[in-house]
Chains A and B, each alone.
Chain A
C-alpha cells in the first residue's frame, strides 16, 4: 500500500491523465493506422487483410514516386532559401536599435496569419487577369502573364514560395532569440581584433547559435514530410501532379479514392522517414555534435 503512494508512483499519477489522452489520440490511432496499411479498407465497411499488397502497389505507383521527389525538392528548398534569408534578417535586425520590435512584428506577421488567408492573398497576386502580372505587363514585363501556380514547370516552386514567405518570419524570431543569448564580450573581443561584420557573424554568432540552427534544420526536415495545407489550397497537387506531395496524395487516396488502407501505407512510410531522421539527429548528438 505504501508503495502505491511512494514518491515514484505519485509522479505517474500526475502524468496519468496526459498519458491516457496521449494514448487515445496519438498512440491508438497511429497503431490503428499501421494495421490498416495491410488492409484494403475503404473507410466504411468490412476490413480485409491484403498483406504487403499496398506497399507493392505503392512502389509501382508513378504518382507516389513523383511525390517522393517533390518532397525531397521541398525539403531542399526550405533548408536553403528561408534559412539563408532568416539568418540574414535576424543578423541585420540585431543591429537595429530603433523600432526593432516593429520590424520583428512585420517579419513575423505572415506566420500568425491563417494559412488560408495567405493562400488567398497569393492566389490573387498571381491571378493572370487582376494580379501583379497585369500590373507588370503594363511596363512590358510579361513574365507573370500566367500564374506560376498553374504552370507545370513552376507550380511546386510557387507553392514553396508562398509557404516559405509565411515561414521565414518564424525562423527570424528563433534565430534572433538565439543571437541575443550570445555573450557581448565575444563581440567586443572580435572588435578589438578588428573583425569585419562577416567575420563576426561567421566566427562568433554562427557557432554560438549552432544548436538553434541545427534544431531549425531538424524541424524543417520533419515538417517538410507532412507539408499539406499550402499545396492543398493553392494547387491541390496540380497541374498534372506537378506540385503533388506525399500528404496531399495521402489525402486524395483516403478521401477521394476511398482507399484508406492504401493511404495508411503512405502515412506509415512518412512515419518511418521521420523516425529515421529523428534517430539520425539523436545519434549525431550522442556522437558529441552540439545539436
Chain B
C-alpha cells in the first residue's frame, strides 16, 4: 500500500515536471541602459515588457536595466561568451566592434521574414548593414535642430537667419540686448562639442562634402572643413554659446531650458531629445517657442537639412539559444506604430524614437503640434535628399572621440585648425586601413 502511494506521488511529480517543461515559456533577456530613477525603466517595463508578455503565451520577455554604461556590461558579458539575447548598444561604432568580434547574429533572415527593410527608414536601416547583412536594429533616431523663444523674436522683430550674414547679425543684435544668442554648454557631457562640429560641417561645408569625406573622396583637411572649424572657433570665442568659452564649459542640461524660458538666451541648438523639456518649460510660462532646421551658413551648396543619427541599437547575441524568439520580440516592437509613438511620447521623444515610415494617422490628437510638424517635416526633408551626418553615428571610434576631445585644444589655441583636421584625417586613414569604418548609405 505504502509502495503504491509512493509510486503514485512519483508519477504525479514527473507528470508535473514534464507538463511544466512542455508549457514553459521561452525566456528572452534584454539588457538596456537605466536612467536610474528618471522614469525610463518603469515606462519600458510597463509599455514593452508587460504588454509584450500579455500579448502572447510562448515568450517571456525580461528587460534588465544596467546602471552606468550598458556598453561596458555588455562588452564584458559578450567577451565571456554570455550576455542577454537582445543587446542594446549606443550606436554604430559599438555595433561595428561587436560585429567584427563575431558577437552578433545576422538579422538578414528575420529582416526578410518580417519585412523590416520596408518598415524602417532606408537611411536608418543602412546604418545596421555590415558586409551586406543586416545586424543592428535602430532603436532611436535623433537629429540636430534649434529651438527659439518665438515671443521674444516677435517682440524684437527678429527673424530666423537663412545665411551667415543674417546669422552673425542676429547674434550681434541679441548680444546687444544683454542676452546670449544661444544657450549651450558641455557641463556633464563633454562630447557636446561634437554637436557643434557636426552643425558647422553640415551647414557650412555642406552635407555633400561631408559625405565625400566620409567615403574618402576628399580629405578632412579640405579647405571647406578648415573654414567650417575656423568659423565655429570664431563664433565660440565671440561668446555665441553661453557668453564665453568658460561659461560654455560650465553650463549643462538644466541651464539650457531655464535660460531659454527666462530670456537669458534666445535660442537653443540641440538634438530632438530636447523637445520634451522645451515643451514642458514653455508650458509653464506665457512665452511660446518655435523650432527650426539649422540655417545653411556656407556657399558650398545644400539646403537646410536634418543630420542623420542613430542614438542606440538593438541586436541579437550570436550565442543566444533562442534567436527566433528574440527576433519576434524586436518585430513586435515595431508592429504597431501608434504604440511606438505612444512610447516615445511618454519618454519626451528623447528615447525610443524608432525611425519608421510614419503617417499622419499614426499620431494621436494630443501630441504637441511642434512634434507632429517635426515628424512630418523630417520625413519630407530627408526624402528629398536634404540630410547630413552626425559624428556620433558615422565616425569610427577613434576619430569620433578625437573630434570632440581635441576641439577644446583648438578653442584654447594650443593647436591650429589644420593640425586638428590633419590628426582627424590620420585617424580616418587608420580606420579605413583596418576596415573599421561605419557604413554610409549612398546619397
Contacts and interface: CB of A to CB of B under 8 A. Distances in A.
B247 A146 contact: yes
A45 B247 contact: no
Contact of B247 (A150, A255, A256): A150
A257 B404 CA distance: 12
B190 A127 contact: no
A151 to B, nearest CB: 6
Given A150-B246, A150-B247, A150-B250, A45 B101 contact: yes
A42 B97 contact: yes
Contact of B101 (A44, A127, A259): A44
A126 B401 CA distance: 27
Given A152-B412, A238-B408, A256-B397, A43 B97 contact: yes
B50 to A, nearest CB: 32
Contact of A147 (B101, B186, B250, B408): B250
Nearest to B400: A256
B333 interface: no
Contacts of A256: 397, 401, 405
B100 A123 contact: no
A46 to B, nearest CB: 8
A252 B405 contact: yes
B97 A240 contact: no
Nearest to B408: A240
Contacts of A242: 412
A238 B190 contact: yes
Main SS at interface, chain B: helix
Contacts of A255: 69, 72
A72 interface: no
Contacts of A129: 247, 251, 255, 264
Contacts of B97: 42-45, 258
Contacts of B405: 252, 256
Nearest to B397: A258
Nearest to B93: A258
A149 B102 contact: no
A256 to B, nearest CB: 4
Looking at B93, B408, B411, the one whose CB has the most chain A CB atoms below 10 A away is B408
A219 B100 CA distance: 43
Contacts of B246: 128, 146-147, 150-151, 239
Given A42-B97, A43-B75, A236-B190, A257 B412 contact: no
How many chain B residues sit at the interface, stated as a range, is: 20 to 34
Given A44-B101, A123-B187, A258-B398, A239 B250 contact: no
A127 B97 CA distance: 38
A91 interface: no
Interface string A128-164: 1100000000000000001101111000000000000
B42 to A, nearest CB: 22
A271 interface: no
B250 A257 contact: no
B398 A127 contact: no
Looking at B100, B255, B409, the one whose CB has the most chain A CB atoms below 10 A away is B409
A162 to B, nearest CB: 14
How many chain A residues sit at the interface, stated as a range, is: 20 to 34
B98 interface: yes
A201 to B, nearest CB: 41
A108 interface: no
Interface string B32-51: 00000000000000000000
A45 B102 contact: yes
A241 interface: yes
Interface string B222-252: 0000000000000000000000111101110
B148 interface: no
Contacts of A147: 246-247, 249-250
Contacts of A45: 97, 100-102
A61 to B, nearest CB: 12
Contacts of B414: 240
Nearest to A45: B101
B103 interface: yes
B9 interface: no
B79 interface: yes
Nearest to A242: B412
Interface of B: 69, 72, 75, 78-79, 93, 97-98, 100-103, 186-187, 190, 244-247, 249-251, 255, 264, 397-398, 401-402, 405, 408-409, 411-412, 414
Given A45-B100, A239-B245, 18 more contacts: A42-B397, A43-B75, A44-B98, A44-B103, A126-B250, A127-B250, A146-B244, A150-B245, A150-B249, A238-B190, A238-B408, A239-B246, A239-B411, A241-B408, A242-B412, A255-B69, A257-B398, A257-B402
27 contacts: A43-B75, A44-B75, A44-B78, A44-B97, A44-B100, A44-B103, A123-B187, A128-B247, A128-B250, A129-B247, A146-B244, A146-B246, A146-B247, A147-B247, A150-B250, A152-B412, A238-B186, A238-B190, A239-B411, A239-B412, A240-B409, A240-B414, A241-B408, A252-B405, A255-B72, A256-B401, A257-B402
